[in-house]
Structure 1
Amino acid sequence: MMRELQYPFDANNILSQKRKIKKQLLNEKKEFLDKNIAILGGSTTNDIKLILEIFLLNYGIRPHFYESEYNQYYQDAVFPNRELEEFHPDLIYVYTTNRNITRYPIISETADDVNGLIEQEIEKFESIWRNLRETYGCPIIQNNFEMPFYRLMGNKEASDIHGKVNFLTRLNMEFYLYAQEHENFYICDINYISADFGLKEWADPFYFYMYKYALNVNAIPYLSFNVANIIKSILGKNKKGFVLDLDNTLWGGIIGDDGVDNIVLGQEEAVGQAYSEFQRYIKEHQQLGIILNIDSKNDHENAVAGLKHPDSEFTEGDFISVKANWEPKDKNFTDIANELNLLPESLVFIDDNPAERYIITKQLPEVNAPEIGIVQNYIQNIDRSGFFEVTNLSDDDLKRNEMYQKNAKRTKLQSTFTDYKEYLVSLEMKGIIRAFESVYMARIAQLTNKSNQFNLTTRRYTQAEIESISQKEDYITLYGKLFDKFGDNGVVSVIIGHKVEKECQIDLWIMSCRVLKRDMEFAMMDALVNCCKEKGLTKIRGYYYPTAKNSMVREFYQMQGFQKISEDTQGNTEWIFDIPEIYENKNNVIEMED
């Protein structure tokens, strides 16, 4: 990850060096996810697009843009647009601001008149969203409204129905209700972003009068960064957990030197309050399914003692993995990732010590180790970084900490067996494999974007694309859920294939790292074969496209009984499976439910 593009960043440097940064990113990144992004703007958007591009490149997303002409957002959205249709957008960003309000109330108007203006404005935007959804079927990102740069009535603007502040606030609430009721629709909260930047500077009218930018040009990196965070979240590129230092990170002081009674934590002094609030902030992430881990140079006993401090927000049980020892932190970090079956870059390293952060990023260059500053700034610097930007929260997200805790119990149980199959049988596993169902669409889309290791083709899908595929007769879709005596693992595997004459050609086969080596892949193969036979298909054709992260499935098809029929110089392989008249199931440890 390029340090210059991580929060806190130098906005002026990004603006002045954007072409150089883009060139460097394109030279450094070997694998990109290509996406078509349409920007429909209510004012000038050129630099917003250029800065958005480099933030997305830094996330491994290579955007190709359609950009509307100046203030043509409504026309492009509502009326036939051959150019946009041929562009086939994967995502549409509607960039509007309070400069695009048709008309504000005037003092002499009645409440009914003002309500009519609200309805008129909402109907305009709903017609935009409705037409985009019906025509393109892709995710939509829509700005809400920032507050005006002047208040005619002063503070009464907020409470009086004729005030611009009141009017914009009501419109924002209508936007939020729409977002709550419609999937694949996301709000870019420029109301918050502008306040955070400073509304006086953000709304400086000079930039609108001179260049028709509806915001200060110096604020563009902050806006584009937020849009990029929404996009990378939609595409499943969020981080999954924290790896946290202890001394001077979760509490003040060195516990090995100062003792548990003398670490700085709690309400007795200002700095202690800052550490306590930071602990609460970190712990709140568990509600989102963010997993917590410790990587500390400490004796284990001291680390645990610190977590037992009377003012600690944590217990040892809040952490999936605790590495408190004198090993190099990059080794501990790698060990934690391996224990969790996650790639190291899925985790964020939080440490007050710049030397430790440097070592981590030097040894593990894809890992984020943000500069967190002094304790009073820890929350702001982490929160503004957008590591865990939420676009959808699935049931699996909410249960993730519980799932990893139970995985630790499974690992402990495994250590008591010498025969691996006996261990699998002891788990008392049960599985469900079915065609895609609406209740799991969000999780299925999420899994297609987050799975990197057990992913044979690394194709990515939005939820809208998943929903569309599930309705097509020429597609075969399967999802798999796995249960065992420790609990529900959730949706852990997905197959998408399409029918070509008498063949099923596999577009996607993925599985969550949580259930590797549990024979779920064999259960999915059995279900795929049975589904193909029911549809009168005689062959299954599979593809493997190598990446830096999926070497573990290089020979997966061979293990399933496929024959390799081709391989090119890049290592891309093609496989075929002739479905026998009598097929013997490969799974014999998971009890499958109908």
Structure 2
Amino acid sequence: MSAPLRVSILSNYTLDPLKDFLARELEGAGLAGEIRIGPFGAYAQEILNPESAHHRFEPDVTILALAPGPLFGRLLERFWELPAEARRGEVARVVEEIAALLEAQAARGRGVVLVHNFVIPSNPVLGLHDARDPFGERALIAAANAELAAACRKQSGAYLVDVEALAGRIGKDAWTDPKLVFLARMEVARGPIEALARETMRFIRALTGRSRKALVLDLDNTLWGGIIGEDGLSGIRLGDAAPGNAYAAFQRRLLALHRRGVLLAVNSRNNPEDAIEALESHPDMALKPEHFAAMRINWRSKVENMRDIARELNLGLDALAYWDDDPTERERMRALLPEVLTIEVPRDPALYERALAAITDFDALTLTEEDRSRGRMMAEGRARTQARARFETEDDFLQSLDIRATVSAPDAVTLPRFAQLTARTNQFNLTTRRYTEADLARMTQAGMTARGLRVADRFGDEGWVGFALFDRGKDGTRARLDTFLLSCRILGRRIEHAFLAACLEELRAAGVRRVEAAFRPSAKNAICEGFLAEVGFAETGSDEAETSYAIDLSSGSPAIPPHVAFNRDA
């Protein structure tokens, strides 16, 4: 069983109900959690004191929720008296203090910090004149939010929770209950706190690898209006005029999702020739065949097609989401494949784009080069699969790929990608330990050895696809493999064997003679259960939590498979 996710809530106002709402959200996501509420108003002391209860708790997630009233008290009370420059100075002071707390948390703590921004008031004290004032109340809070966002971007492991946008969606008047503000210093009403828990879970899902990775789409009355097999290419509704403009807007939003690294796939009961012609030839079609990582266009069961798509993409069913305008198909998918997130689609296509934009299951904490290139990489993967059929043996095929691998220590550019890999890689992941950028930076600064893997072959560049983390013993002759993982799209080419062998070779050259490792089973990583034994590790023990292994490097390290050529840039 995985260790509980520890969440510490620090605030300058009463936020106790968030604990129960968040616990319910964690349970619904299948996560065990421990949640603590820090002492009222003592957020700075909790972060700055390395012996505080907050740091002893060792949170995976720290929520820093600050209301502007206590922070800008002097400014708001004397708003009429202070000139614009003095107000700007107060904003800078407050944000600098928060930035210093984020830096202190990164240096002394672990995990991520979720920083709430401020709600812009609906009724500023200057009334209509607020917009004409050089730095009115609304402009002041907006500027504070912008500077706070910049501070979070600069600090590894800090992420901004857009409370201002959330309050806007709920309604500013509903966001607070004046009676609770006066009686209990509770700046957020109970109902909005429940919404705040759901917003927090967006970050936690991404942090713990529970985001969906692919969206599977129907075609008729989904990407276009009408039925392509009956209406023909000229009869389907797609374009600038209603109702086709709703489908065009939906496709543009899907294309944006694709560019964020979310895989798109098609699952449609249709004649494949008709559907492909529409995707390739319609002048208003934003999505083309190359935007889809997998396509099942046939008359088979959509449930069976969904299983095929998961296999082709090398993803678990719980990594897929499904969009179909047919309520019968949606109910069948929910009943037979409950792991798939089947989206409740609005009846009116005018609402498609809004409904898609509201889905938070595709969230990621970072957007990397690999995310932006994922569609291209999947197309290259299909080309590899097709090329395999031309070879009689697996060895001949692998040798033909001209695989070139680079092993490198993390730097400022690659560290976010390696943290993302620890968060999102579920299948080929020996221990499924999750780390943030700040965690990895702290561990490498403390002397742990981290190595990333980049792979290219004659079909294209796969990007950074692997990560290994070793804890070196004090005497330098022993090491423990803390983390070893590879992206699922790189599997099947024995690159995982080559990567670990290259790491072990480097450790042996540095004087390490024994490396210990473990396989910690999860619901998704059965694929790597026998991997350590395949590389040459011997089992040394086993219990319910893990199986332990070790390898003696005194007489040498495992051979690197000959079809992989390595460059080393440690």
**TM-score category by the smaller chain?**
over 0.9
1:309 lines up with 2:282 in the alignment: yes
Q: In the alignment, what sits opposite 1:432?
A: 406
Aligned-residue identity in percent: 27
Out of 41, 54, 58, the residue aligned to residue 71 of structure 1 is: 41
1:306-345 matches, within 5 Å, as 306-307=278-279, 308-345=281-318
Q: In the alignment, what sits opposite 1:57?
A: 27
Deviations 1:499-522 (A, max 9, x none): 345432222211111111212122
Q: Is the 8 A contact 2:536 2:558 kept in 1?
A: no
1:95 lines up with 2:40 in the alignment: no
* Change in 2 beyond 3 A, CA 1:168/1:329: same
Out of 526, 539, 552, the residue aligned to residue 551 of structure 1 is: 526
CA distance in 1, matches of 2:210, 2:40: 31
Out of 402, 409, 429, the residue aligned to residue 455 of structure 1 is: 429
Deviations 1:272-327 (A, max 9, x none): 22111111111111221111111111111222233232222121221111111111
Q: In the alignment, what sits opposite 1:509?
A: 484
Which one-letter code corresponds to 1:295 in the other structure?
N
Q: In the alignment, what sits opposite 1:22?
A: none
Out of 145, 153, 157, the residue aligned to residue 130 of structure 2 is: 157
* Change in 2 beyond 3 A, CA 1:487/1:98: same
Which one-letter code corresponds to 2:426 in the other structure?
N
1:531 lines up with 2:503 in the alignment: no
Instruction: State the Cα RMSD in Å.
Output: 2.1
SS of 2:492's equivalent in the other structure is coil
CA distance in 1, matches of 2:96, 2:515: 49
Q: In the alignment, what sits opposite 1:280?
A: 252
* Change in 2 beyond 3 A, CA 1:359/1:589: same
CA distance in 1, matches of 2:277, 2:192: 45
Q: In the alignment, what sits opposite 1:25?
A: none
Q: In the alignment, what sits opposite 2:241?
A: 268
Q: Is the 8 A contact 2:19 2:36 kept in 1?
A: no
* Change in 2 beyond 3 A, CA 1:583/1:148: closer
Structure 1 residue 174, shift from structure 2 partner: 1.0
Moved over 6 A (4+): none
Please identify, of 340-349 and 133-142, the stretch whose mean Cα deviation from structure 2 is larger.
Answer: 133-142
Q: Is the 8 A contact 2:91 2:140 kept in 1?
A: yes
Structure 1 residue 428, shift from structure 2 partner: 0.8
* Change in 2 beyond 3 A, CA 1:306/1:98: farther
CA distance in 2, matches of 1:164, 1:508: 49
Which one-letter code corresponds to 2:54 in the other structure?
L
Structure 1 residue 368, shift from structure 2 partner: 1.2
Deviations 1:531-553 (A, max 9, x none): 22123222222212222212222
- What TM-score comes out, normalization by structure 1 length? 0.89
Please identify, of 115-124 and 453-462, the stretch whose mean Cα deviation from structure 2 is larger.
Answer: 115-124
* Change in 2 beyond 3 A, CA 1:216/1:470: same
CA distance in 1, matches of 2:556, 2:261: 43
* Change in 2 beyond 3 A, CA 1:320/1:71: same
Q: Is the 8 A contact 1:161 1:167 kept in 2?
A: no
Q: In the alignment, what sits opposite 2:395?
A: 421
1:355 lines up with 2:325 in the alignment: no
CA distance in 1, matches of 2:323, 2:68: 38
1:108-123 matches, within 5 Å, as 108-123=81-96
Structure 1 residue 584, shift from structure 2 partner: 5.6
CA distance in 2, matches of 1:195, 1:335: 42
Which one-letter code corresponds to 2:443 in the other structure?
I
1:45 lines up with 2:15 in the alignment: yes
SS of 2:414's equivalent in the other structure is helix
Q: In the alignment, what sits opposite 2:493?
A: 518
Q: In the alignment, what sits opposite 1:578?
A: 552
Out of 285, 288, 291, the residue aligned to residue 263 of structure 2 is: 291
Structure 1 residue 32, shift from structure 2 partner: 4.9
* Change in 2 beyond 3 A, CA 1:379/1:491: same
Unaligned runs of 5+ in 2: none
- What TM-score comes out, normalization by structure 2 length? 0.93
CA distance in 2, matches of 1:588, 1:360: 45
Q: In the alignment, what sits opposite 1:382?
A: 356
SS of 1:591's equivalent in the other structure is strand
CA distance in 1, matches of 2:79, 2:50: 35
Structure 1 residue 487, shift from structure 2 partner: 1.4
SS of 1:552's equivalent in the other structure is helix
Structure 1 residue 554, shift from structure 2 partner: 1.7
Q: In the alignment, what sits opposite 1:232?
A: 205
